[in-house]
């Protein structure tokens, strides 16, 4: 290989799978693990190594990437049965790229430090298409030495790498700011398009008009297009935003900030999940509005 750090990779789903394949294309060796067999098979088809457990993913890794959805999944991957923490070598780095919350990340950093393992906190934003193109936004925090180690990988995965701090948790806090906007924008798009329907307008035609003006946004473009599909592929599930907006609201309240819009958006996602849409694409919060307004 080219002297690039060897990667272990845990989490090969809608975002993690394309990201791991980009890493392979850019010359990294990747040993990947996912609970889902199709995700493991996709990595193998792209030329990656497939391992049987998180521990096996960490055993030979210079950098262990975690791209999982929830703090409990990351806790299990690191410290559960066959977890990676016990297998990681002193001097290796755990690269956290999901939205997991700063409190959990700081806890993991303290627990790993005793064995000489460090954390780079580097959550991503941009969606599935940008993940596959290596054009994500990364919000990274860590020591200069650790950021240097992971820089070739971050440069491969992202069009923008923003260094937002030196401590584990700094990246997570920045990501929560990002998620507040993303979560509110999706709900606002659903409410606006449902409002158009209530006014007797064609919602798709209304979307085509407003997306080109001052009301336009990435989320209106991306999720708005999927809102008109009967059953779109799940690129990010409603329950992911139940989790993310919960993290946003909790962090805001802990900081003494009153998150009025975030609470309202969280309520919409929770209602959508309770209505059976939790595993649907998050664009389908539109269905909740349609049900309430019919």
Which of 2-6, 56-60, 65-69 comes out lowest in average pLDDT? 2-6
pLDDT of 291: 87
CATH superfamily of 7-167: NAD(P)-binding Rossmann-like Domain (3.40.50.720)
pLDDT at 270: 98
Rounded Cα distance between 120 and 293, Å, is 45
Domain positions in the chain are 7-167, 173-293
Q: Do domains 7-167 and 173-293 have the same CATH topology?
A: no
Question: Is 222 exposed, middle or buried, given 0-12, 13-18 or 19+ CB atoms closer than 10 A?
Answer: buried
d(CA 190, CA 69): 23
Token pair, residue 172, equals 């997570």
CATH pick for 173-293 out of 3.30.1360.170, 1.10.1040.10, 1.20.58.340, 1.10.3720.10: 1.10.1040.10
Annotated active-site positions, please? 175
Per-residue confidence (pLDDT) for residue 2, from 0 to 100 = 57
Report pLDDT for 294.
Answer: 53
pLDDT at 1: 40
What is the residue-averaged pLDDT of the chain?
96
């Amino acid at each position: 290989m080219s002297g690039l750090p060897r990667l272990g990779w845990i989490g090969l789903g809608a975002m993690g799978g394309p990201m791991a394949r980009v890493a392979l294309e850019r010359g990294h060796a990747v040993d990947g693990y996912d609970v889902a067999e199709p995700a493991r098979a996709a990595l193998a088809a792209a030329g990656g190594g497939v391992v049987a457990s998180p521990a096996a993913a960490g055993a030979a890794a210079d950098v262990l990437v975690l791209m999982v959805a929830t703090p409990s999944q990351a806790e299990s991957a690191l410290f559960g049965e066959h977890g990676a923490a016990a297998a990681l070598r002193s001097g290796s780095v755990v690269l956290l790229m999901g939205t997991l919350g700063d409190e959990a990340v700081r806890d993991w950093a303290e627990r790993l430090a005793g064995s000489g393992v460090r954390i780079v906190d580097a959550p991503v934003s941009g969606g599935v298409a940008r993940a596959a193109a290596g054009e994500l936004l990364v919000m990274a925090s860590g020591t200069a030495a650790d950021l240097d180690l992971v820089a070739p990988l971050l440069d491969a995965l992202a069009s923008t790498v923003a260094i937002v701090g030196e401590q584990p948790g700094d990246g997570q806090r920045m990501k929560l700011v990002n998620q507040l906007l993303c979560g509110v924008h999706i709900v606002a798009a659903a409410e606006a398009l449902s409002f158009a329907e209530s006014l007797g307008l064609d919602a798709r035609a209304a979307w085509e008009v407003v997306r080109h003006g001052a009301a336009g946004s990435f989320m209106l473009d991306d999720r708005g297009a999927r809102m008109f599909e009967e059953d779109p592929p799940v690129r990010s599930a409603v329950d992911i935003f139940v989790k993310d907006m919960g993290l946003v609201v909790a962090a805001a309240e802990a900081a003494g900030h009153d998150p009025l819009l975030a609470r309202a958006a969280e309520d919409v996602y929770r209602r959508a999940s309770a209505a059976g849409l939790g595993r649907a694409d998050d664009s389908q919060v539109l269905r909740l509005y349609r049900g309430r307004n019919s």
